[in-house]
Amino acid sequence: MPFVPNVTTLSGRILARTGLLLLAAVLLGGGLIAIWRLALSPLADAWRSRDWIQAMAKIEDLSLTQDARGVRLRTRYAYRVRGVLYRASRYGLHTDMDNAEAARAAYAELLYRDKVWVWVNPDAPDEALMNRDIHWSVVAFALPAVAVAALGALLLWAAASAVRAWRREFRRKAQGAMRYPLSIMRFLYSFCFYLFLPGLLLRLLWRSRQQPDYRRHWRERFGFYDGRAPSPLLWVHAVSLGETRAAEPLMAGLLAAYPRHALLLTSMTPTGRGAGSALYRDNARVMQAYLPYDAPDAVRRFFRHFRPDFGVLLETEIWPNLLFAARRQGVPMMLVNARLSSRSARGYARIGMLARPAFATLCAVAAQERADARRLAFLGASQISICGNLKFDVHPAPELLAQGKTWRTEITRRQQRPIWLAASTREGEEILLLDVAAQLPACLPPDAPPPLLVLTPRHPQRFDAVATLVETRGLSLTRRSAGLPTLETQVWLGDSMGELAAYYALADIAFIGGSLLPLGGQNLIEAAACACPTLFGPYTFNFARASRDAVRAGAALRVQDAKTLLAHPKQQAALRSAALDFAAQYRGATTRVLALLRAQTQSLPIFSESGFPTTDS
Separation CA 326–CA 335 (nearest Å): 13
Q: Which amino acid is at 159?
A: A
Residue 88's H or E segment, with its range, is: strand 84-94
Most confident of the following: 63-77, 259-273, 447-461, 519-533: 259-273
Model-level pTM? Answer: 0.66
Catalytic residue list: 243
Q: Which residues pair with 262 in a beta bridge?
A: 233
The predicted pLDDT at position 569 comes to 53
pLDDT band of residue 249 (cuts 50, 70, 90) is very high
Q: Which amino acid is at 355?
A: A
Half-sphere exposure of 133 (CA within 13 A, CB side): 14
- Which position has the higher pLDDT, 176 or 445? 445
Least confident of 47-51, 69-73, 103-107, 558-562: 47-51
Residue 49's H or E segment, with its range, is: helix 41-50
Q: 109: closest CA among 464, 376, 517, 520?
A: 464
Q: Which amino acid is at 62?
A: L
pLDDT band of residue 613 (cuts 50, 70, 90) is very low
**Checking DSSP bridges between strand 286-290 and strand 71-81, what pairing results, if any?**
unpaired
- Which position has the higher pLDDT, 453 or 6? 453
- Do 595 and 613 meet the contact criterion of CB atoms below 8 Å apart? no
DSSP state of 488: T
Separation CA 21–CA 380 (nearest Å): 36
- Do 228 and 193 meet the contact criterion of CB atoms below 8 Å apart? no
Separation CA 528–CA 504 (nearest Å): 9
What's the Cα-to-Cα distance from 414 to each of 162, 204, 503, rounded to whole Å?
72, 46, 20
454-476 per-position pLDDT tens digit:
999 988 888 888 998 898 888 89
Residue 152's H or E segment, with its range, is: helix 131-175
Q: 250: closest CA among 391, 416, 456, 459?
A: 391
Exposure string for 224-262, b = 16+ CB within 10 A, e = fewer: ebeeebeebbbbbbbbbbbbbbbbbbbbebbbebbeebb
Start-end of H helices in 458-510: 463-472, 500-506
pLDDT at 257 over 80: yes
Phi-psi region of 380 (alpha: psi -120 to 50; beta: other; left: phi over 0): left
- Do 550 and 515 meet the contact criterion of CB atoms below 8 Å apart? no
Separation CA 292–CA 314 (nearest Å): 16
Separation CA 453–CA 566 (nearest Å): 13
- Do 128 and 119 meet the contact criterion of CB atoms below 8 Å apart? yes
pLDDT at 90 over 80: no
Across all residues in the chain, what is the average pLDDT? 78
pLDDT at 204 over 60: yes
Residue 562 buriedness (CB in 10 A; 0-12 / 13-18 / 19+): buried
pLDDT at 34 over 70: no
- Do 260 and 294 meet the contact criterion of CB atoms below 8 Å apart? no
267-318 per-position pLDDT tens digit:
999 988 988 998 898 889 999 999 999 988 899 999 999 999 999 999 888 8
Separation CA 609–CA 617 (nearest Å): 11
Q: 481: closest CA among 467, 465, 494?
A: 494
pLDDT at 21 over 90: no
Exposure string for 39-76, b = 16+ CB within 10 A, e = fewer: beeeeeeeeeeeebeebebebeebebeeeeebbbbebe
Residue 300's H or E segment, with its range, is: helix 296-306
The predicted pLDDT at position 178 comes to 39
Percentage of the residues of the chain whose pLDDT score is greater than 70: 69
CA-based Rg of the chain, rounded to a whole angstrom?
A: 28
Separation CA 264–CA 266 (nearest Å): 6
